[in-house]
């Protein structure tokens, strides 16, 4: 039952128990005296003062009796940010307009912004002074090619400025990043192991999947803990030379995580925001030499030479402006890499390569070696052109495997990846030669099977462009953690058809 509020200015703070991801949301009854006196309505931006802490949040209005008239309930994100004491009281009032509101409006209407305006925008992002609607407007106004090179650099600087920045001392600090869009391209754990085994520092922070069936952090997490804080990350790197941790826990470019939350449902591509996202995290992590893996193909994220040139130019301009040694390695993005697509399945591929197993995927091994070689050749003091020989030496000798297992132990302990309980083959409906493989459809099938939420879910396929198949032959094998997820994926496999068959010559 609702009760009469004891006063006009303070409300009891309660926990709503509602996950709104990173968006702070508060809940008040529509008949609450504060709500009525202030003229609050749903989606109003409100300021909460609880003790010495302040929060700007979005209001949702409760119309039934689940919330008292003297209460303000906090979503999980708001509760974490305010961290109220027991029986805390909150003063709730209208939030002041964001200081960057004018800059945001100018960007929406096509204006170019400068360093100060981007810094104001990003600071307001960090302080939750911009609603998700306003953030969506900014993401939309920056989509496509609406950020030029100078603006991309300004946005990157601002994102670095509002987060922490690591300093590893003298000497090169190496890193690599893939722009994505290629299922199974899980080279990072192998590259980190090779580079660290050769005595270089490579503190790798990686993301979880945003729209893919697995991110590097998802794959690594089935083998070792990745949710390390900054202190733990530093200890691992000082002990082993490298790490592979989830970037969301170390929060080196926290504004980027908030923007990604808004970008994900919009699914807008923006070279400027991609560059700012990647390079802000690399520079914040203390990297001095960064190699960008850029798969190019019609169903990869970078779909052709023109797009590759445009993105490469923007990366190079921003990297140079910020004093970063940047290399770009274009790779084939026409078909998947390895056999597994999904966290655990990709982990199995990684371990096979590191263990020099007879059935290790050759394409994953060669890609990892090529990227390691290019990164090693970038490092100051290295003999250019010797990277491939050095990388192959530590992989073949088992030194890379030993280093990988040591990194896993330092992060909390190694574990073998599991296998899904349920599998089913998807057969070819006709005979022919594989002419095209649609990476996006393969990724979607793996997600429909439950990846990455279910770590062992996904799919396996060893087929490549040019292979011939017979009617009834398995094209791929789906893996799922429940019969229902497996059936759901099988149902969609009939219509998605990631393999396009042509005539056998």
How far is it, in rounded angstroms, from Cα 177 to Cα 187? 10
Q: What CATH class is the domain 10-94?
A: mainly beta
Strands (E), 85-234: 89-94, 174-178, 202-206
Taken in order 399, 365, 478, 303, the sign of the CA dihedral is positive
Give the pLDDT of the chain (505 residues) as one tens digit per residue. 444 444 457 999 999 999 997 789 999 999 999 999 999 999 999 999 999 999 999 999 999 999 999 999 999 999 999 999 999 999 999 999 899 999 999 999 999 999 999 999 999 998 888 888 899 999 999 988 899 999 999 999 999 999 888 999 999 999 999 998 899 999 999 999 999 999 999 999 988 887 789 999 999 999 999 999 999 999 999 999 999 999 877 878 888 888 887 877 777 768 899 999 999 999 999 999 999 999 999 999 999 999 999 999 999 999 999 999 999 999 999 999 999 999 999 999 999 999 999 999 999 999 999 999 999 999 866 677 899 999 999 999 999 999 999 999 999 999 999 999 999 999 999 999 999 999 999 999 999 999 999 999 999 999 999 999 999 999 999 999 999 999 999 999 989 999 999 987 7
Which residues carry out catalysis? 269
> Helices marked H in 379-453 — which ranges?
387-397, 399-411, 439-448
How far is it, in rounded angstroms, from Cα 176 to Cα 453? 25
How far is it, in rounded angstroms, from Cα 72 to Cα 16? 9
Q: What CATH class is the domain 174-250+259-411?
A: alpha beta
How far is it, in rounded angstroms, from Cα 213 to Cα 363? 19
Phi and psi of 129, rounded to 5°? -85, -10
What is the SS3 assignment for 301? coil
Count, in order, helices (H) and strands (E) of the chain: 19, 18
Is the pTM higher than 0.85? Answer: yes
| CATH number, span 101-161 | 1.20.970.10
What CATH topology corresponds to 422-502? Aldehyde Oxidoreductase; domain 3 (3.90.1170)
Q: CB of 58 within 8 A of CB of 26? A: yes
And the tokens for 358? 């007879």
Q: Where are the domains of the chain?
A: 10-94, 101-161, 174-250+259-411, 422-502
How far is it, in rounded angstroms, from Cα 49 to Cα 89? 9
């Amino acid at each position: 039952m609702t009760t009469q509020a004891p006063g006009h200015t303070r409300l009891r703070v309660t926990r709503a128990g509602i996950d709104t991801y990173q968006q702070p949301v508060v809940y008040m009854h529509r008949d609450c005296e504060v709500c009525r006196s202030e003229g609050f309505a749903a989606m109003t931006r409100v300021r909460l003062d609880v003790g010495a802490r302040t929060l700007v949040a979005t209001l949702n209005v409760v119309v039934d009796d689940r919330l008292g008239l003297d209460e303000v309930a906090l979503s999980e994100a708001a509760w974490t940010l305010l961290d109220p004491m027991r029986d805390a009281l909150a003063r709730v009032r209208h939030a002041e307009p964001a200081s960057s509101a004018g800059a945001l409006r100018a960007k929406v209407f096509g204006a170019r912004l400068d360093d100060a305006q981007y810094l104001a925008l990003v600071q307001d992002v960090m302080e939750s002074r911009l609603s998700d609607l306003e953030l969506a407007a900014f993401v939309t106004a920056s989509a496509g090619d609406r950020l030029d090179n100078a603006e991309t650099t300004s946005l990157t600087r601002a994102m670095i400025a509002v987060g922490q920045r690591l300093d590893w001392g003298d000497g090169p600090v190496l890193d690599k990043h893939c722009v994505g869009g290629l299922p199974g391209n899980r080279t990072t754990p192998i590259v980190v192991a090779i580079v660290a085994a050769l005595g270089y520092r490579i503190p790798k922070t990686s993301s979880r999947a945003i729209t893919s069936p697995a991110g590097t952090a998802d794959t690594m997490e089935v083998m070792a803990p990745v949710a390390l804080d900054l202190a733990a990350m530093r200890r691992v790197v000082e002990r082993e030379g490298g790490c592979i941790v989830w970037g969301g826990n170390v929060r080196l470019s926290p504004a980027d995580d908030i923007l990604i939350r808004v970008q994900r449902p919009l699914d807008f591509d923006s070279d400027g925001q991609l560059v700012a996202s990647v390079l802000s995290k690399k520079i914040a992590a203390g990297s001095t030499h960064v190699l960008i893996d850029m798969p190019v193909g019609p169903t990869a994220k970078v779909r052709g030479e023109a797009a590759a040139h445009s993105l490469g130019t923007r990366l190079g301009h921003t990297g140079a402006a910020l004093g970063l040694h940047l290399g770009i390695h274009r790779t084939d993005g026409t078909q998947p890499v390895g056999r597994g697509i999904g966290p655990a399945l990709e982990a199995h591929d990684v371990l096979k390569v590191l263990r020099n197993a007879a059935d290790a995927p050759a394409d994953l091994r060669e890609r990892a070696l090529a990227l390691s070689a290019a990164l090693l050749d970038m490092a100051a003091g290295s003999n250019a052109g010797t990277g491939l020989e050095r990388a192959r030496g530590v992989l073949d000798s088992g030194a890379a495997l030993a280093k990988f297992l040591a990194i896993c132990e330092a992060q909390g302990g190694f574990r073998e990846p599991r296998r899904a309980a349920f599998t089913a083959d998807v057969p070819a409906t006709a005979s022919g030669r594989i002419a095209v493989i649609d990476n996006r459809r393969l990724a979607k099938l793996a997600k429909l099977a439950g990846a990455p939420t279910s770590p062992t879910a996904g799919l396996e396929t060893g087929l490549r462009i040019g292979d011939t198949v017979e009617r009834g032959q398995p094209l791929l094998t789906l893996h799922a953690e429940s019969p229902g997820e497996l059936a759901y994926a099988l149902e969609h496999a009939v219509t998605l058809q990631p393999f396009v068959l042509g005539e056998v010559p």
